[in-house]
Amino acid sequence: MPSNLAADRAAQLHARGDLALDVPDDVTPLRVVAAPEDWGDDDHVLRSYLAVHVPMAVEQGRFVWSGEHLVVRAGSLVTEAGSPVYMGLSRASGRWAIAWAGPRPNSIEPLPAPDLGTWPELDPRLEVVVAIDRFPGPVLAELPLITQNLIVAGAVDWSVRRGLAVRQLRGCYAPVHLTDREGAPEFAAAIQVQRERLVVRRLVELSAAYPGARAAVARRDDLPMWLRRAP
Protein backbone atom coordinates (compact mmCIF):
# COMPACT_ATOMS: atom_id res chain seq x y z
CA MET A 1 0.00 0.00 0.00
CA PRO A 2 1.50 3.38 -1.01
CA SER A 3 2.78 5.44 1.90
CA ASN A 4 0.64 8.45 0.94
CA LEU A 5 -2.49 6.30 1.14
CA ALA A 6 -1.41 4.98 4.53
CA ALA A 7 -0.91 8.55 5.74
CA ASP A 8 -4.30 9.58 4.36
CA ARG A 9 -6.08 6.76 6.17
CA ALA A 10 -4.24 7.50 9.40
CA ALA A 11 -5.40 11.11 9.05
CA GLN A 12 -8.98 9.87 8.61
CA LEU A 13 -8.71 7.92 11.84
CA HIS A 14 -7.26 10.89 13.68
CA ALA A 15 -10.05 13.10 12.38
CA ARG A 16 -12.60 10.75 13.93
CA GLY A 17 -10.83 10.88 17.27
CA ASP A 18 -10.39 7.10 17.36
CA LEU A 19 -6.63 6.78 17.85
CA ALA A 20 -6.82 4.76 21.09
CA LEU A 21 -7.08 1.23 19.69
CA ASP A 22 -7.66 -1.10 22.62
CA VAL A 23 -8.30 -4.83 22.36
CA PRO A 24 -12.03 -5.65 22.37
CA ASP A 25 -13.28 -7.17 25.61
CA ASP A 26 -15.02 -10.00 23.76
CA VAL A 27 -13.02 -11.72 21.01
CA THR A 28 -15.49 -14.61 20.64
CA PRO A 29 -16.77 -13.46 17.20
CA LEU A 30 -13.22 -13.73 15.87
CA ARG A 31 -12.36 -17.00 17.58
CA VAL A 32 -15.42 -18.83 16.24
CA VAL A 33 -14.71 -17.97 12.58
CA ALA A 34 -10.93 -18.48 12.64
CA ALA A 35 -9.41 -21.91 12.11
CA PRO A 36 -9.54 -23.84 15.42
CA GLU A 37 -6.60 -23.14 17.68
CA ASP A 38 -5.84 -23.24 21.39
CA TRP A 39 -5.88 -19.58 22.44
CA GLY A 40 -5.40 -20.28 26.14
CA ASP A 41 -7.56 -19.38 29.12
CA ASP A 42 -9.97 -16.52 28.40
CA ASP A 43 -8.50 -16.29 24.88
CA HIS A 44 -5.54 -14.36 26.31
CA VAL A 45 -3.26 -15.47 23.45
CA LEU A 46 -5.74 -14.22 20.84
CA ARG A 47 -6.08 -10.93 22.70
CA SER A 48 -2.29 -10.54 22.71
CA TYR A 49 -2.28 -11.34 18.99
CA LEU A 50 -4.80 -8.59 18.27
CA ALA A 51 -2.94 -6.14 20.50
CA VAL A 52 -0.03 -6.46 18.07
CA HIS A 53 -1.74 -6.74 14.70
CA VAL A 54 -4.65 -4.30 14.87
CA PRO A 55 -2.72 -1.16 15.92
CA MET A 56 0.02 -2.03 13.44
CA ALA A 57 -2.49 -2.43 10.60
CA VAL A 58 -3.95 0.99 11.38
CA GLU A 59 -0.52 2.60 11.72
CA GLN A 60 0.40 1.25 8.28
CA GLY A 61 -2.88 2.42 6.73
CA ARG A 62 -4.04 -1.13 6.08
CA PHE A 63 -7.70 -0.52 6.92
CA VAL A 64 -10.90 0.87 5.39
CA TRP A 65 -14.04 2.43 6.77
CA SER A 66 -17.36 0.73 6.10
CA GLY A 67 -19.95 3.03 7.54
CA GLU A 68 -19.02 3.36 11.21
CA HIS A 69 -16.95 0.18 11.16
CA LEU A 70 -13.16 0.19 11.01
CA VAL A 71 -12.31 -2.87 8.89
CA VAL A 72 -8.95 -4.64 9.11
CA ARG A 73 -7.45 -8.03 8.42
CA ALA A 74 -7.20 -10.06 11.60
CA GLY A 75 -3.46 -10.41 11.15
CA SER A 76 -2.71 -13.61 9.24
CA LEU A 77 -5.63 -15.56 10.69
CA VAL A 78 -7.66 -17.63 8.25
CA THR A 79 -10.94 -19.50 8.35
CA GLU A 80 -10.99 -23.28 8.44
CA ALA A 81 -11.42 -23.15 4.66
CA GLY A 82 -8.27 -21.00 4.33
CA SER A 83 -9.82 -17.59 3.62
CA PRO A 84 -8.26 -14.54 5.32
CA VAL A 85 -10.29 -13.34 8.28
CA TYR A 86 -11.49 -9.74 8.31
CA MET A 87 -13.24 -7.95 11.13
CA GLY A 88 -15.24 -4.79 11.54
CA LEU A 89 -14.61 -2.82 14.70
CA SER A 90 -17.13 -0.41 16.16
CA ARG A 91 -16.72 1.95 19.09
CA ALA A 92 -19.24 2.65 21.82
CA SER A 93 -18.85 3.99 25.35
CA GLY A 94 -15.16 4.55 24.72
CA ARG A 95 -14.37 0.89 23.91
CA TRP A 96 -13.82 -0.96 20.65
CA ALA A 97 -15.91 -4.06 19.97
CA ILE A 98 -15.90 -6.64 17.17
CA ALA A 99 -19.10 -5.93 15.24
CA TRP A 100 -18.49 -8.79 12.82
CA ALA A 101 -15.74 -11.19 11.76
CA GLY A 102 -15.42 -13.53 8.81
CA PRO A 103 -14.23 -13.78 5.20
CA ARG A 104 -13.91 -10.51 3.27
CA PRO A 105 -17.31 -9.11 2.22
CA ASN A 106 -17.61 -8.23 -1.47
CA SER A 107 -18.04 -4.59 -0.56
CA ILE A 108 -14.61 -4.43 1.12
CA GLU A 109 -11.42 -4.08 -0.89
CA PRO A 110 -8.69 -6.69 -0.27
CA LEU A 111 -6.35 -5.62 2.52
CA PRO A 112 -2.87 -6.91 3.33
CA ALA A 113 -2.00 -8.15 6.79
CA PRO A 114 0.27 -5.78 8.75
CA ASP A 115 3.98 -5.97 8.04
CA LEU A 116 5.83 -6.99 11.19
CA GLY A 117 9.20 -6.15 9.68
CA THR A 118 12.39 -8.18 9.80
CA TRP A 119 14.40 -9.65 12.62
CA PRO A 120 18.17 -9.68 13.04
CA GLU A 121 19.78 -12.99 12.29
CA LEU A 122 20.79 -15.13 15.25
CA ASP A 123 24.34 -15.95 14.24
CA PRO A 124 25.47 -19.00 16.26
CA ARG A 125 29.05 -17.71 16.12
CA LEU A 126 28.16 -14.73 18.32
CA GLU A 127 28.96 -14.71 22.02
CA VAL A 128 26.04 -15.32 24.38
CA VAL A 129 25.98 -12.78 27.22
CA VAL A 130 23.61 -13.31 30.15
CA ALA A 131 22.44 -9.97 31.58
CA ILE A 132 20.48 -11.36 34.52
CA ASP A 133 21.25 -11.14 38.21
CA ARG A 134 18.29 -13.16 39.50
CA PHE A 135 17.48 -16.58 38.12
CA PRO A 136 14.11 -18.31 38.57
CA GLY A 137 13.52 -21.94 39.43
CA PRO A 138 14.98 -24.47 41.88
CA VAL A 139 17.62 -25.88 39.52
CA LEU A 140 19.65 -22.66 39.54
CA ALA A 141 18.61 -21.17 42.86
CA GLU A 142 21.39 -22.55 45.08
CA LEU A 143 24.26 -22.03 42.65
CA PRO A 144 26.74 -19.12 42.62
CA LEU A 145 25.83 -16.31 40.22
CA ILE A 146 28.76 -16.99 37.89
CA THR A 147 27.74 -20.65 37.64
CA GLN A 148 24.16 -19.67 36.89
CA ASN A 149 25.39 -17.39 34.11
CA LEU A 150 27.59 -20.07 32.59
CA ILE A 151 24.83 -22.70 32.66
CA VAL A 152 22.26 -20.42 31.00
CA ALA A 153 24.76 -19.15 28.41
CA GLY A 154 25.66 -22.73 27.52
CA ALA A 155 22.02 -23.78 27.25
CA VAL A 156 21.16 -20.83 25.01
CA ASP A 157 24.22 -21.37 22.82
CA TRP A 158 23.23 -25.03 22.40
CA SER A 159 19.68 -24.08 21.34
CA VAL A 160 20.74 -21.32 18.94
CA ARG A 161 23.25 -23.59 17.22
CA ARG A 162 20.47 -26.11 16.59
CA GLY A 163 18.06 -23.58 15.15
CA LEU A 164 15.57 -23.88 17.99
CA ALA A 165 15.07 -20.14 18.57
CA VAL A 166 11.81 -18.45 17.59
CA ARG A 167 10.99 -14.83 16.85
CA GLN A 168 9.09 -12.57 19.16
CA LEU A 169 8.33 -8.90 18.72
CA ARG A 170 11.32 -7.61 20.67
CA GLY A 171 13.89 -10.19 19.62
CA CYS A 172 13.81 -13.95 19.95
CA TYR A 173 13.16 -16.74 22.42
CA ALA A 174 15.39 -19.77 22.78
CA PRO A 175 14.61 -22.83 24.89
CA VAL A 176 16.68 -23.30 28.04
CA HIS A 177 17.15 -26.98 28.85
CA LEU A 178 18.63 -27.37 32.31
CA THR A 179 18.03 -31.04 33.11
CA ASP A 180 16.96 -32.92 29.96
CA ARG A 181 17.68 -31.82 26.40
CA GLU A 182 15.23 -34.39 25.06
CA GLY A 183 12.37 -33.14 27.23
CA ALA A 184 10.55 -29.86 27.62
CA PRO A 185 12.76 -26.85 28.43
CA GLU A 186 12.42 -25.29 31.86
CA PHE A 187 12.42 -21.73 30.50
CA ALA A 188 12.56 -19.58 27.39
CA ALA A 189 15.39 -17.06 27.19
CA ALA A 190 14.48 -13.63 25.78
CA ILE A 191 17.36 -12.69 23.46
CA GLN A 192 18.34 -9.43 21.79
CA VAL A 193 21.10 -9.02 19.21
CA GLN A 194 23.33 -6.17 20.33
CA ARG A 195 26.75 -5.20 18.98
CA GLU A 196 27.52 -8.65 17.66
CA ARG A 197 26.43 -10.34 20.87
CA LEU A 198 23.38 -12.36 21.81
CA VAL A 199 22.18 -10.80 25.05
CA VAL A 200 19.86 -12.80 27.32
CA ARG A 201 17.64 -10.27 29.10
CA ARG A 202 15.40 -12.57 31.09
CA LEU A 203 14.14 -16.12 31.55
CA VAL A 204 10.38 -16.67 31.35
CA GLU A 205 7.99 -19.57 31.66
CA LEU A 206 6.99 -21.13 28.33
CA SER A 207 3.40 -20.00 28.86
CA ALA A 208 4.62 -16.40 29.14
CA ALA A 209 6.73 -16.69 25.99
CA TYR A 210 3.99 -18.21 23.85
CA PRO A 211 1.71 -15.18 23.20
CA GLY A 212 4.52 -12.96 21.89
CA ALA A 213 5.97 -15.73 19.76
CA ARG A 214 2.55 -16.67 18.37
CA ALA A 215 1.91 -13.06 17.33
CA ALA A 216 5.09 -13.09 15.24
CA VAL A 217 4.22 -16.08 13.04
CA ALA A 218 1.51 -16.61 10.44
CA ARG A 219 0.43 -20.05 11.68
CA ARG A 220 0.72 -21.86 14.97
CA ASP A 221 2.44 -24.71 13.12
CA ASP A 222 5.26 -22.27 12.30
CA LEU A 223 6.30 -22.39 15.95
CA PRO A 224 8.83 -25.01 17.05
CA MET A 225 7.43 -28.01 18.87
CA TRP A 226 9.02 -27.03 22.19
CA LEU A 227 6.80 -23.94 22.34
CA ARG A 228 3.65 -25.32 20.72
CA ARG A 229 2.68 -27.17 23.87
CA ALA A 230 2.58 -24.04 26.01
CA PRO A 231 -0.47 -21.78 25.54
- pLDDT at residue 4, rounded to an integer: 44
- pLDDT at residue 92, rounded to an integer: 79
Identity of the amino acid at 228 = R
Tell me what the mean pLDDT of segment 103-123 comes to: 92
The better pLDDT of the pair 110, 8 is held by: 110
- Residue 1 confidence class, pLDDT cut points 50, 70, 90: very low
- Whole-prediction pTM value? 0.86
The better pLDDT of the pair 152, 1 is held by: 152
Domain range list for the chain: 3-102, 127-228
Question: pLDDT exceeding 90 applies to what percent of the chain?
Answer: 77
- DSSP calls for 131-179: --S---SHHHHTS-HHHHHHHHHHHHHHHHHTT--EEETTEEEEEE-SS
